[in-house]
Amino acid sequence: MSKSPGHQKWPSHKVREEHVTQPMQVRVNDEVVARSDDVIKVDEDEQPARYYFPRADVPAARLSRSQTTSECPFKGTAHYFSLLAGGQTYPDAVWSYEQPFDEHVALRDRLAFYSEKIPGIVIEPAVAAPAGARSPVERTQGGL
């Protein structure tokens, strides 16, 4: 990997990563599409907070990789996925840094949700399931 050109050029720009201390979930119109105990919250200057979920905690059947990429001078190249939720497909609504710059290696292979592209999305602390119950995410097969 390499050092972030953005952090070198704009050292006052902050991109803060913090492990969330409680389970988190993503709902789209009340359908749980992701749930994890291992989420990283990213607070970046002039950007909304983003939550990065491990790929294994987002069912692969909900994602379809697109050809879209974008460059962040601080984190690296983002690769995009379309999200399937509630019978709808949301193009390029999820992204991942597969080879982030050194400063953000903790984001490698995690998925973030582009909330502005997904009407009805809620990213929130996960509600504890009743004893023995399995969430819709746990009932699907594996992550990406």
Map out the domains of the chain with their CATH numbers. 5-139 (2.170.150.40)
Q: What mean pLDDT comes out for the span 113-126?
A: 93
Measured in residues, the chain has a length of: 144
Residue 47 pLDDT > 80: yes
DSSP for 68-83?
Answer: EEEEETTTEEEEEEEE
Please state, rounded to an integer, the average pLDDT across all residues of the chain. Answer: 88
> How do beta strands 110-113 and 50-54 pair?
antiparallel
The pLDDT, as a whole number, for residue 128 is: 64
Residues 2, 93, 122, 116, CA torsion sign:
positive
Average pLDDT for residues 40-65, to the nearest whole number? Answer: 94
Q: What is the pLDDT of residues 18-33, one digit of tens each?
A: 999 999 999 998 899 9
User: What is the enclosing helix (H) or strand (E) of 99?
Assistant: none
Least trusted range by pLDDT, from 7-16, 28-37, 81-90, 125-134? 125-134
What average pLDDT does range 105-110 have in this prediction? 94
* Rounded Cα distance, 45 and 109, in Å: 22
Contact criterion met (CB below 8 Å) for 105 and 76: no
Compute the C-alpha angle 36/85/112, nearest 5°.
Answer: 45
- What is the value of pTM for the model shown? 0.86
- The conformation of residue 37, written as its DSSP 8-state character, comes to S
Which of 21-25, 62-66, 88-92, 126-130 has the lowest average pLDDT? Answer: 126-130
Q: Which has the higher per-residue pLDDT, 105 or 139? A: 105
